[in-house]
């Protein structure tokens, strides 16, 4: 079945460092891909999305490119801030009647001042 | 506009009890989905409802049930609670293919 694999955390960075969180997927067909962020004690917020190959999603300085040839959707940010500290989830939405989201296990990012 | 609202925010139940969680979608959103997020893991799909009909069900036992009302709000019921049901339960509403999540209900089973 469809699945998402993302790098384990925690990822600890200093402020203004470059961030990469790896995400790969397995899916039949052409899924849509998402990154969600979860701040402590809160629900999930959509960070960015891409719906077809070579699409680049971007938001708040974060970017991810849908790479069909490597089945990847890595999250990047050029300069992280303390306020970016959160758990990041990669997810895919496959086909079918439900269009349910399938999530990775999440990656905790801790940014130190 | 109000976002997706869930109630209660926290609750504690004893093993064997039953619990009902509630979700109000964004106005105009006709689809509601439920997810279970166990500590340290990603959310797992439980149910999806659209126009009051079940559209899909995840790999959860029959102790889990849900329904959607004419105003598109939804309830998730869990019977015969187990310790392993302790989790954050997330509701998401959608108009087309975009999902907006609520802040969740934190259920602790003791």
Contact A104, A5 (CB under 8 A): yes
CB contact under 8 A, B56 and A32: no
DSSP B97: S
Tens of pLDDT, residue by residue over A58-70, are 999 999 999 999 9
With an 8 Å Cβ cutoff, is A89 touching chain B?
yes
A-chain residues near B45 (CB < 8 A): 98, 100-102
CB contact under 8 A, A106 and B100: no
Tens of pLDDT, residue by residue over A8-50, are 889 999 999 999 999 999 998 889 999 999 998 888 999 999 9
From residue A109, how far is each of A12, A13, A19, A52, B86 by CA, in Å?
6, 8, 9, 27, 24
Tens of pLDDT, residue by residue over B35-90, are 999 998 999 999 999 999 999 999 999 999 999 999 999 999 999 999 999 999 99
How many whole angstroms separate alpha carbon A15 and alpha carbon A111?
6
Average pLDDT over residues A75-98: 90
Nearest to A113 by CA among A15, A13, A17: A15
Tens of pLDDT, residue by residue over B92-107, are 998 776 789 999 999 9
With an 8 Å Cβ cutoff, is B3 touching chain A?
no
Contact B89, B76 (CB under 8 A): yes
Residue with tokens 């329904």: B67
Chain B CA closest to residue A106:
B42
CB contact under 8 A, A105 and B42: yes
pLDDT of residue A98: 67
């Amino acid at each position: 079945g469809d699945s998402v694999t993302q790098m384990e955390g925690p990822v600890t960075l200093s402020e203004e460092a470059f961030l990469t969180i790896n995400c790969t997927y397995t899916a039949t067909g052409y899924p849509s891909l998402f990154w969600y962020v979860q701040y402590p004690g809160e629900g999930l917020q959509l960070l960015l999305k891409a719906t077809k190959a070579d699409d680049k999603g971007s938001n708040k300085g974060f970017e991810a490119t849908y790479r069909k040839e490597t089945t990847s959707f890595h999250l990047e940010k050029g300069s992280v801030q303390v306020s970016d500290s959160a758990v990041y989830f990669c997810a895919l939405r496959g086909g079918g009647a439900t269009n349910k989201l399938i999530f990775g296990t999440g990656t905790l990012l801790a940014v130190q001042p | 506009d109000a976002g997706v609202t869930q109630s209660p925010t926290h609750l504690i139940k004893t093993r064997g009890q039953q619990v009902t969680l509630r979700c109000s979608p964004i106005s105009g959103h006709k689809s509601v989905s439920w997810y279970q997020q166990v500590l340290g893991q990603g959310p797992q799909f439980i149910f999806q409802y659209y126009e009051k009909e079940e559209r899909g069900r995840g790999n959860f036992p029959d102790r889990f049930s849900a329904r959607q009302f004419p105003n598109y709000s939804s309830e998730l019921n869990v019977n015969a609670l187990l310790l392993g049901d302790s989790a954050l339960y997330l509701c998401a509403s959608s108009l087309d293919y975009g999902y907006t999540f609520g802040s969740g209900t934190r259920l602790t089973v003791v």
